[in-house]
Chain A
Amino acid sequence: AQTVTQSQPEMSVQEAETVTLSCTYDTSESDYYLFWYKQPPSRQMILVIRQEAYKQQNATENRFSVNFQKAAKSFSLKISDSQLGDAAMYFCAYRIHSGNTGKLIFGQGTTLQVKP
């Protein structure tokens, strides 16, 4: 069975600094997607960034980038130049690439606090 683990329940960062959130996963599949979602207090999940497992190049979206280590089954999120609006719960998620199922398997989440 696939599992996603986030070992940092809480993290804090100073505004304008850089922070890295960790995620590990377990799967026997070779083709899958990995995601980072942001959930602010409003509860609406927002996609931050995605990575296709077959791509070696790490995904980047503006201030957000990932470090994808397929052999180690590790998928960390780096937030550069942190802003107050980045404060939220962050979830790492996995989904298999093939078949009809779009089920996302989420980690437990990491609460990010941004200090002014």
Chain B
Amino acid sequence: EAGVAQSPRYKIIEKRQSVAFWCNPISGHATLYWYQQILGQGPKLLIQFQNNGVVDDSQLPKDRFSAERLKGVDSTLKIQPAKLEDSAVYLCASSSHGQYEQYFGPGTRLTVT
């Protein structure tokens, strides 16, 4: 089966610009996660979707970050406006409802200059 797809793989923007990342989970996976991984650190959960509803967005900086999951499949994560400290790898993961294992995509490396 196809894995979690993410695009783009790399993105370089200037501070105060906006950027969007896309994720396509494994077919049939109801749960989708976005993690932020700053260089040298472990990933941190930004938001969790169950179908198209938000389960946990407690660590999402809502003044600049937004995410949506239309129709319970694909998801986009947006940053507007970007700050230097947003430079990180953004990982998308998905899991089947009730299952413990999360399957990760290859991530998008964002550099904010």
Contact = CB atoms under 8 A, between A and B. Distances in A.
Contacts, number: 56
Interface size of B as a range: 20 to 34
Interface stretch (B11-19, B20-28, B77-85, B103-111): B103-111
Given A42-B106, A44-B107, A50-B100, A108 B48 contact: no
A93 B106 CA distance: 18
A105 to B, nearest CB: 8
Interface of B is mostly: strand
A95 B102 CA distance: 11
B87 interface: no
Interface of A: 4, 33, 42-47, 50, 91, 93, 95, 100-104, 106-109
Those 4 A-B pairs whose CB atoms lie nearest each other, nearest first: A106-B42, A45-B104, A43-B107, A103-B45
